Structure formats: structure tokens, C-alpha cells
Amino acid sequence: MGEFDAAGELVMGGLLGRAAEPHAGEGHGHGHGTICLNCGTALIGSHCHQCGQSGHVHRSLGAIGHELLHGVAHFEGKMWRTLPLLAWRPGDLTRRYIAGERARFVSPMAMFLFSIFTMFAIFQILGISTPTDLDTNSMKPTVALQHSIAKTEATRSSKAAKLAKLDAGDPDRADLQKEIAKADRDIAGFKAAIAQMPAVMRDDSDEIKEVHTGWHTLDHGIEKWQKNPALMLYKLQSSVYKFSWLLIPLSLPFVWLLFFWKRQYKLYDHAVFVTYSIAAMSLFFIVITLLSAVHVSPGVLGTLATFVPPVHMCRQLKQAYGLGWRSAIFRTSLLLWFILIIAALFLLILGLLGIMG
């Protein structure tokens, strides 16, 4: 069912992007009538100047497929004008959108929604996810040592049984005796390691430790994590893309810090920069994932993953804000450090949401 879920996420991302995208500049190229069927206004073009509805409406099953394709990929031109610029001249795209060229390009939020949902759909199709089949008992050091003791004792018993069946002069007896002696030493070492552990690490009971922070919701959330960390990790994993929009407001203050003394740049400008940048990185991760799926060398993928994102951000900064190369490189270096802080804050918020949700 993972492929069906992924297909659903892909379509949902496209439809959400369509909902966030202004319906303009897409030139349907169909004929139209003389009266708007929505509000009754006389038409003077392909669209109603009163309510914006197209003068040509579809009434066929094929039209449903057309709308679906349009929703997923903005099939009639805007996506194909936006993607090349987003990949190679992201700063020009940012600057031109801010300057008012809105009808030609997919809006930042629509691009963000489409890319995020597509990325997680690809991950789901290829079975890429964080591990959720956690065995909490195996995380306890004493349990691991006890498993090693049991395994070694079983091996020793097998060797001892073989030794008992051999004749006194059999040449294999010496080797078996050495292996049994080694097993005895290993068992003694494991038991000594358990004895030397602090008492808190030797507590292997399954009893859930109560937490009292004074905040009932937080205490209850921590208890849920203790009881079933695998389920909680799954919930956290499934909510990452739903709350990915948080990356935008989290990033805004840090981008503002790079230009706070330049009053010609407003928060809106920084929001467009951030949103297009996140969308570009999401599409880049899709490319890396697909290349990995066709067994491209890990060295090549590692090189791309290391150098492409900072180079892309540097180009976007330079082009969008009219910077020189030195200034763009310096700000990119700061932005890379800021990204680590933003990622930590994002994961912290997700963790709190998981505990409290």
C-alpha cells in the first residue's frame, strides 16, 4: 500500500500547490462564449473580468484528468518556465517574482508545497524511512551482555557434548578443550562487566519510570515515548512533511540578520527567498534519491550532496540581493551555520509536538 499512499501524497501536493497558485498567465487557448456562466457578465476576453472564471468550461471525463494533471504539474507552462530558473538562476527567479512578475512563474508557496509532497512521495515509493522497529530491551547494556552470556554458554555446551563423545586419544580433544576454556573466560568477562556497571545501568526491569516535571501534558507524552518509542517515532516521521512549513518562519529571522541594515529588503523578500530555496533543496533531494535508486556511485552522490546546496544558495543570494561574490560567499557561510540552528529548532519543535500530541 506504500505506493498508493505515495501517489496520494503526490497528487495532494500538486492540488495544494494549485490552490496556493494564482490562476493567471497560463493561456488556455480555448474558445469561449459571450456570457460568463458563473456570474452572467458579458465576456470581453477568454476570462471573465468580473469573477475571473474561464469563458470555456469543460464537461467531460477527460476534463477531470486534465484538471488533475494541471494541479499536479501546472501542466500549461508555468512550471516549465519556473524549474529551469529555480535550478540554475534561483536568484533571478526570486528577484523577478518580488519585482512583480507573478503570472509567469509558479509562486513560492505553490512550488514549496509541490516539492515537499513530491519528495516525501518519492521517499515512500522507494521505502526510505527512519527505523521504527525499535527493540527497547536491546538498548539496555545488561540485556545485551546477558544475551552474549547465553549465546556463549550454548556454544560451550555444544563443544562440551562433542568432547564427551571423543575417545581419550582423539587429536580433536585439545582444540575443543581450548575452545571451552576460551568460552569460560568470555563468560567470566561478561559477568564481570555486569558487576562493574552502575546500579542504574543494571536495572533491566520493564517498569516505566514516572516523570514529574509539573506539566501533566509533558509528563504524559514522555510516558508514551517510554512505553512505545517505535510508535512515537513513526508518528514523528509521518508529521515531518506536514509541519515542514515551519522551516519558513524559523528561517526568516536568520536571513533577516544577513541584511538587517539594508532597509530596501523587506521580510516579504526574505520569505520569497527562503521558500524558493527550500523548494529547490527538496527537488535536489529528489534527484539524489532517484540517482541512488539507479545505483549511482555513493562517492558521486556524496560530492553532489556536499557541494551543490551551498553553491546553489550562494548563487541565489548573489543574484537575488545584487551581491558581489565575496559578500555572497561570506553570507552563504553564515547561512550554513544558521541552517544547523534552524534544523535543531525544527527537530526540537517536532519532538515537543510528538510528546504533547
> Cell for 331?
553570507
Distance CA 117, CA 18 (A): 13
Q: What is the DSSP letter of 41?
A: P
Instruction: Write down the pLDDT at residue 51.
Output: 78
Place of cell 512515537: 232
- Beta-carbon neighbour count of residue 157 at 10 Å? 12
Residue extents of the structural domains in the chain: 2-26+74-129+240-356, 141-196
Tell me the per-residue pLDDT of 136-156, one tens digit each, with 9 for 90 and over.
Answer: 554 456 666 677 788 888 888
Beta bridge partners of residue 42, listed in sequence order: 35
* Lowest mean pLDDT across 132-136, 210-214, 222-226, 343-347: 132-136
Cβ distance 97 to 107 under 8 Å?
Answer: yes
pLDDT mean across residues, the chain: 77
pLDDT tens, residue by residue, 78-131 = 888 899 999 999 999 999 999 988 878 888 888 888 888 888 888 878 877 655
| Contact partners, residue 354, CB within 8 Å, separation at least 6 | 221, 225, 232, 235, 236, 239
φ, ψ of residue 54 in degrees (nearest 5): -65, 145
Q: Which residue has the higher pLDDT, 320 or 30?
A: 320
